[in-house]
Structure 1
Amino acid sequence: MHLTLDPAYPALGGDFFDTVDPADFPKAQLRFWNTRWAQAVGLGDLTDAGREAHFARFEPLPGWHEPPLALRYHGHQFRQYNPQIGDGRGFLFAQLRDGKNRLLDLGTKGSGQTPYSRTADGRLTLKGAVREILATEMLEALGVYTSKTFAVFETGEALHRHDEPSPARGAVLTRLQHSHLRFGMFQRAAYEQKPENVAALADYAITHFYPELDAREGEDRVAGLLEAIARSSARLTGEWMAAGFVHGVLNTDNLNVTGESFDYGPWRFLPYYEPGFTAAYFDETGLYAYARQPEAVFWALQQLAGALSLICGEEALIAALNAFPPAYRTEFQSAFLRRLGVEQQDADSDEALVRSALTFLRESQAPWEAFFFDHFCGREPQERDVYTGEVYQAFTDALADYDPVRPERLDHAYFKRETPVHMTIETMEAAWAPVHETDDWSALHALLDDIAEARAGYDLGRDRTGFLTGDKA
Structure 2
Amino acid sequence: MAFTPQQAILELGPAFYDPVTAARFPETILRFRNDRAAAEIGLHDLGDEQWIAHFGRFEPLPGTLDQPLALRYHGHQFRVYNPEIGDGRGFLFAQMTDDRGRLMDLGTKGSGQTPYSRFGDGRLTLKGGVREILATEMLEALGVETSRTFSLIETGEALERGDEPSPTRSAVLVRLNHGHIRIGTFQRLAYGQDVENLARLTDYVLRHYFGEEPGDDAPQRLLGHVAARTARMAGQFMAAGFVHGVLNSDNINVTGESFDYGPWRFAPNWAPGFTAAYFDQSGLYAFGRQPEAIYWDLMQLASSLRLIAEEAPLIEAMEIFPEIFQRTVAEAMLWRLGVVPRGPEHDRPLIGAIERALVETETPIDLFYFHGFGGTLPERFGAPFAELRAQLAHYAPRKPRDHPYWSDAAPCAMLIDEVEEIWARIAQGDDWAPLNGKVAAIRRMGEALA
Q: Return the TM-score normalized by structure 2.
A: 0.98
CA distance in 2, matches of 1:358, 1:102: 36
User: In structure 1, the residue corresponding to 2:171 is in which secondary structure?
Assistant: strand
Does 2:63 match 1:56? no
User: Deviation string for 1:237-281 (max 9, x for gaps)?
Assistant: 100000000000000000011100000000000101100000000
User: In structure 2, the residue corresponding to 1:143 is in which secondary structure?
Assistant: coil
1:61: Cα distance to partner?
Answer: 0.7
Q: Identify which of 368, 372, 375 aligns with 2:372.
A: 375
Worse-matched range after superposition: 327-336 or 288-297:
327-336
Contact 1:5 1:64 in 2 (8 A): yes
Worse-matched range after superposition: 52-61 or 99-108:
99-108
Does 2:391 match 1:398? yes
| Aligned twin of 2:207 | 207
Structure 2: which amino acid aligns with 1:393? A
| Aligned twin of 2:289 | 292
User: Deviation string for 1:91-126 (max 9, x for gaps)?
Assistant: 000000112321000000000000000000000000
Does 2:247 match 1:250? yes
Contact 2:270 2:365 in 1 (8 A): yes
User: Deviation string for 1:160-188 (max 9, x for gaps)?
Assistant: 00111100100000000101010000000
| Aligned twin of 2:190 | 190
1:347: Cα distance to partner?
Answer: 1.0
User: In structure 2, the residue corresponding to 1:9 is in which secondary structure?
Assistant: helix
CA distance in 1, matches of 2:65, 2:56: 18
| Aligned twin of 2:110 | 110
1:380: Cα distance to partner?
Answer: 4.5
Does 2:424 match 1:430? no
| Aligned twin of 2:233 | 236
CA distance in 2, matches of 1:8, 1:221: 19
CA distance in 2, matches of 1:95, 1:290: 33
Structure 1: which amino acid aligns with 2:315? I
Structure 1: which amino acid aligns with 2:275? T
1:379: Cα distance to partner?
Answer: 3.6
Aligned length: 450
The sequence identity of aligned pairs, in percent, is: 54
Q: Equivalent residues in 2 for 1:121-160 (5 A)?
A: 121-160=121-160
CA distance in 1, matches of 2:65, 2:131: 32
Structure 1: which amino acid aligns with 2:434? A
Contact 2:239 2:329 in 1 (8 A): yes
1:432: Cα distance to partner?
Answer: 1.1
1:337: Cα distance to partner?
Answer: 1.1
CA distance in 2, matches of 1:401, 1:104: 41
CA distance in 2, matches of 1:357, 1:349: 13
Worse-matched range after superposition: 345-354 or 140-149:
345-354
CA distance in 2, matches of 1:43, 1:118: 34
CA distance in 1, matches of 2:293, 2:39: 36
| Aligned twin of 2:4 | 4
User: In structure 2, the residue corresponding to 1:411 is in which secondary structure?
Assistant: coil
Structure-2 change in CA distance of 1:65 and 1:333 (3 Å):
closer
| Aligned twin of 1:415 | 406
CA distance in 1, matches of 2:100, 2:426: 39
- Structure 2 stretches lacking a partner, 5+ long: none
User: Deviation string for 1:182-233 (max 9, x for gaps)?
Assistant: 000000011111011111111111101112x42x631x22101101110111
CA distance in 1, matches of 2:65, 2:230: 33
- Structure 1 stretches lacking a partner, 5+ long: 460-473
CA distance in 2, matches of 1:181, 1:20: 18
1:377: Cα distance to partner?
Answer: 1.4
Q: Equivalent residues in 2 for 1:274-313 (5 A)?
A: 274-313=271-310
Contact 2:64 2:96 in 1 (8 A): no
Structure 1: which amino acid aligns with 2:439? L
1:145: Cα distance to partner?
Answer: 0.3
Structure 1: which amino acid aligns with 2:83? P
| Aligned twin of 2:177 | 177
| Aligned twin of 1:442 | 433
Alignment RMSD: 1.0
1:65: Cα distance to partner?
Answer: 4.3
| Aligned twin of 2:27 | 27
1:346: Cα distance to partner?
Answer: 2.4
Contact 1:3 1:43 in 2 (8 A): yes
User: Deviation string for 1:274-333 (max 9, x for gaps)?
Assistant: 000000000010000000000000000000001101110111111111111121111111
CA distance in 1, matches of 2:293, 2:86: 21
| Aligned twin of 2:356 | 359
1:64: Cα distance to partner?
Answer: 2.7
Structure 1: which amino acid aligns with 2:358? L
Q: Return the TM-score normalized by structure 1.
A: 0.94
User: Deviation string for 1:118-151 (max 9, x for gaps)?
Assistant: 0000000000000000000000000000000000
Contact 1:28 1:56 in 2 (8 A): yes
Contact 2:25 2:155 in 1 (8 A): yes
User: In structure 2, the residue corresponding to 1:378 is in which secondary structure?
Assistant: coil
Contact 1:132 1:265 in 2 (8 A): yes
Q: Equivalent residues in 2 for 1:325-336 (5 A)?
A: 325-336=322-333
Structure 1: which amino acid aligns with 2:229? S
Q: Identify which of 365, 379, 388 aligns with 2:382.
A: 388
CA distance in 2, matches of 1:277, 1:345: 30
1:48: Cα distance to partner?
Answer: 1.2
Q: Equivalent residues in 2 for 1:306-325 (5 A)?
A: 306-325=303-322
| Aligned twin of 2:101 | 101
1:443: Cα distance to partner?
Answer: 1.4
User: Deviation string for 1:411-446 (max 9, x for gaps)?
Assistant: 111111011110110111111111011111111111
CA distance in 2, matches of 1:65, 1:58: 11
